Amino acid sequence: MGFGRDSAIALAVLLVFILLEFTGLRSAGLVDFAIRFATFGLLALSLNLLIGSAGLVSFGHAAYFGMGAYSFGLLMQTGAWSVPAAILAAVAMTALLALVIGALCVRLSEIYFAFLTLAFQMLLHSLILSWIGLTGGDQGLMGGIPKPPFLGVDLARQDHLAAFSLFCLVASAVALRQILRSPFGAALRMLRDNPDRAAFLGLSVFRYRLAAFVIAGSFAGLAGVLMSLYVSGAFPSFAFWTTSGEAIFMIMLGGVSVFLGPLVGTAIFLMLNDWITAVTEHHGLFLGIILLIIVLGLRKGLLDFAVEHWRARRGNQP
Amino acid sequence: MSGRLELQGLRKSFGGVVATDDVTLGFEPGTLSAIIGPNGAGKTTLFHLITGKLPVTAGRVLLDGAEITGLDRREIVRRGIGRAFQVANLFPSFSVQDSLAAALMAHAGRTAGLFSTFPPPDVQRQAEEVMELCGLTHLSRTEARHLSHGDQKLLDIALALALNPKVLLLDEPTAGMGPDERWRMIERVYRLWEARKLTLIFIEHDMDIVFKIAQSVRVLRYGAVLAEGTPEEVRRNPAVVEAYLGAEHAL
Ligand SMILES: Nc1ncnc2c1ncn2[C@@H]1O[C@H](COP(=O)(O)OP(=O)(O)OP(=O)(O)O)[C@@H](O)[C@H]1O
Ligand SMILES: [Mg+2]
């Protein structure tokens, strides 16, 4: 029921975009924005499974973004992989990494969890920098990534890549939403609300949190794949703490408690970023100030605020 | 009929403080008992020991003749001992019906599914039954954090009740309530006990309530059992009168 409706909405969104894109209305700007929106939107959405639903604030989510990008890039550069197979393999490898790191992190209490996830991310980042033979070090994965067409999709074309990225985003959003609606999702929320009582009722805190960590890491890996397709390479900055910070920033802008909040935040973040970069070189400073205003002014994300406001108004009417 | 709870020589010390001192008590299946005692007498600690929240220093807990001392607290819940807390212990963002459904599913080990929708209809029906029994039906869609203090306590009891316990321990079900609300709450508790025929043990400070509804009363002081018996016997017990009830309740 809910799943069917979500799928229908997702399909409609995708069709509208493809119609826009392929019937002459397209502009290079729109296509480019769509790819970045899908990539970072997916990253933010996957992180919000941890932050919003499981109550696990990870500071190191970009590790899985970087892992997805590098795994995919390296597999494609061997020339032996088709795009879909390499995507599946890259996501699987990212899931494995999340499983190992998660197993070490999810037992810890909040602040230690946050810092240990960050520490593992920095470890991966230094590994990328120092393993020059494999990763190209601080130059990044150079030489481009071959993108052999599959099923009529040619990802070397920007318009195809935009539609494909949006497809990945929309399909992932439908899947993530189903996860939240499922009994598993309810268990995550119980653990977020009251881990003690949840454990008392028979939930294994460790197993459920680890599962959420792996799922979120896998979707971040897929976002990394899209990023690597977009730039035709992979760079150490993908796995740097600033990328994790940006994802948290997007979630805070849009809101943690509404499912689509992170996507709204991503759109605002990207537009602000483009606009601010165009007018000043101190864009970090300006973004920081805007975030401060939103966090201190509204004390929640924009969509959180809007939904609460709307509920309150509806509640007031007799 | 099952639900016999026996405590044998139960002892708990925190460093130098003896919170439970050689407590031996029996609770017959289907009875309604009160535990009373001044602040710090070790009442809550006794519940912690029974439910496995704290390890015992010495002694045994038996449920229907089987020893449950030292078992994992989840296992103790599964064997049939339910418990509501002195301070309501809830899932704040869950509505009343979802709280109950979630508790039922967690207890049944059915929370691993990714493809179905929470809550499934059969669990939903069970949750409705419990809400009916506890008088929470009209609040089914209210989030736990928005409930009144009294309704939060009630939901806490409902959460324990949803797991179908043989023995239900209520830690001060009327704590923090005004006089009217207290009586409403205790009537509910009484009706639950009648409807479910479980062994119900409650901690209570209000003597009027205790003497009105309990079949038997156990008095704790400094962690030890000071007296036990019917409300009448306890009320007449000179040691209790002197140590605890004070002038206003004496005879
Ligand atoms: N975790 C603990 N560590 C140390 N001492 C404790 C601990 N828990 C309880 N105590 C002590 O054990 C004694 C009994 O406490 P308990 O909470 O069982 O009393 P109570 O009868 O429930 O009191 P109240 O009526 O105030 O709820 C008190 O002296 C308390 O300070
Ligand atoms: Mg107490």
By C-alpha distance, the chain A residue nearest B92 is A193
Q: What does the radius of gyration of chain B's CA atoms come to, in whole angstroms?
A: 18
Contact B92 A193 (CB under 8 A): yes
Q: Nearest Cα to A247, choosing from A94, A98, A50, A17?
A: A50
- Tell me the chain A residues in contact with residue B93 when contact means C-beta distances shorter than 8 Å: 189, 192-193
Query: To test the ligand 1 pocket, which listed residue (B10, B11, B13, B14) has its Cβ within 8 A of the most ligand atoms?
Result: B14
pLDDT band at A38 (very low <50, low <70, confident <90, very high): very high
Q: What angle do CA B161, B104, A194 make, to 5 degrees?
A: 90
Model confidence over B59-104: pLDDT tens digits? 999 999 999 998 988 889 989 999 998 888 999 999 999 999 999 9
Specify the 3-state DSSP secondary structure of A234.
Answer: strand
Q: Does B76 touch chain A (CB under 8 A)?
A: no
Q: How much is the average pLDDT of A75-88?
A: 95
Q: What angle do CA B41, B77, B184 make, to 5 degrees?
A: 60
Cβ–Cβ < 8 Å for B50, B169: yes
- What residues have a C-beta under 5 A from ligand 2, the ion? B 44
B139 lines ligand 1 (CB under 6 A): no
pLDDT band at A318 (very low <50, low <70, confident <90, very high): very low
**In this structure, how many other beta carbons lie within 10 angstroms of the beta carbon of residue A127?**
14
Ligand 1 atom, smallest distance to B220 CA: 21
Q: Whose CA is nearest to atom 14 of ligand 1?
A: B42
Question: What tokens were used for A35?
Answer: 């790819």
B216 lines ligand 1 (CB under 6 A): no
**In this structure, how many other beta carbons lie within 10 angstroms of the beta carbon of residue A281?**
8
pLDDT of residue A1: 56
Contact A189 B91 (CB under 8 A): yes
State the ligand closest to the CA atom of B54. 1
Cβ–Cβ < 8 Å for A235, A85: no
When the pLDDT of each residue in chain B is averaged and rounded to a whole number, the result is 91
Give Cα A148 to chain centroid, integer Å: 25
Q: What predicted TM-score, i.e. pTM, was given to this entire model?
A: 0.88
Query: What are the backbone dihedrals phi and psi of residue A33, each rounded to the nearest 5 degrees, phi first?
Result: -65, -40
User: Which residues of chain B does CATH 3.40.50.300 include?
Assistant: 1-80+167-251
Q: Where do the structural domains in chain A lie, given as residue ranges?
A: 2-240
Q: Would the CA dihedral through A216, A221, A223, A224 be positive or negative?
A: positive
pLDDT band at B158 (very low <50, low <70, confident <90, very high): very high
Ranked by mean pLDDT, the top range of A169-178, B106-115, B177-186 is A169-178
Specify the 3-state DSSP secondary structure of A163.
Answer: helix
Q: Whose CA is nearest to atom 18 of ligand 1?
A: B42
Q: How much is the average pLDDT of B151-175?
A: 93
Q: Assess whether pLDDT exceeds 50 at residue B250.
A: no
Q: Assess whether pLDDT exceeds 70 at residue A26.
A: no
* Alpha-carbon gap: A198 to the closest alpha carbon of chain B (Å): 8
Q: Which residues, 6+ apart, have CB-to-CB distance to A146 below 8 Å?
A: A76, A77, A79
**Nearest-angstrom CA–CA distance, A223 and A263:** 13
Q: How much is the average pLDDT of B17-29?
A: 94
Q: How much is the average pLDDT of B13-19?
A: 91
Q: How much is the average pLDDT of A141-168?
A: 91
CB nearest A2 (choices: B110, B117, B163): B117
pLDDT band at A29 (very low <50, low <70, confident <90, very high): confident
DSSP H helices in chain A: 2-22, 28-48, 62-77, 83-105, 110-130, 132-135, 158-181, 183-193, 195-200, 205-231, 241-254, 261-279, 283-298, 302-316
Higher pLDDT, B201 or A138: B201
B17 lines ligand 1 (CB under 6 A): yes
Ligand 1 atom, smallest distance to B43 CA: 21
* Alpha-carbon gap: B93 to the closest alpha carbon of chain A (Å): 7
pLDDT of residue A316: 53
CATH 3.30.70.1380 fits B1-80+167-251, yes or no: no
CB nearest B118 (choices: A1, A181, A208): A181
Ligand 1 atom, smallest distance to B41 CA: 21
Q: Assess whether pLDDT exceeds 90 at residue A224.
A: yes
Contact B117 A187 (CB under 8 A): no
ipTM confidence score: 0.84
CB nearest A198 (choices: B106, B113, B120): B106
Model confidence over A282-296: pLDDT tens digits? 777 877 787 778 777
- Tell me the chain B residues in contact with residue A179 when contact means C-beta distances shorter than 8 Å: 114
Complete edge-to-edge strand list for the sheet that includes strand B58-63: B17-27, B5-14, B58-63, B66-67
pLDDT band at A137 (very low <50, low <70, confident <90, very high): confident
State the ligand closest to the CA atom of B42. 1
Interface of A with B (CB under 8 A): 1-3, 178-179, 181-187, 189-190, 192-194, 196-203, 208
SS (H, E, C) chain B: CCCCEEEEEEEEEECCEEEEEEEEEEECCCCEEEEECCCCCCHHHHHHHHHCCCCCCEEEEEECCEECCCCCHHHHHHHCEEEECCCCCCCCCCEHHHHHHHHHHHHCCCCCCCCCCCCCHHHHHHHHHHHHHHCCHHHCCCEHHHCCHHHHHHHHHHHHHHCCCCEEEEECCCCCCCHHHHHHHHHHHHHHHHHHCCEEEEECCCHHHHHHHCCEEEEEECCEEEEEECHHHHHHCHHHHHHHHCHHHCC
**Nearest-angstrom CA–CA distance, B113 and A178:** 11
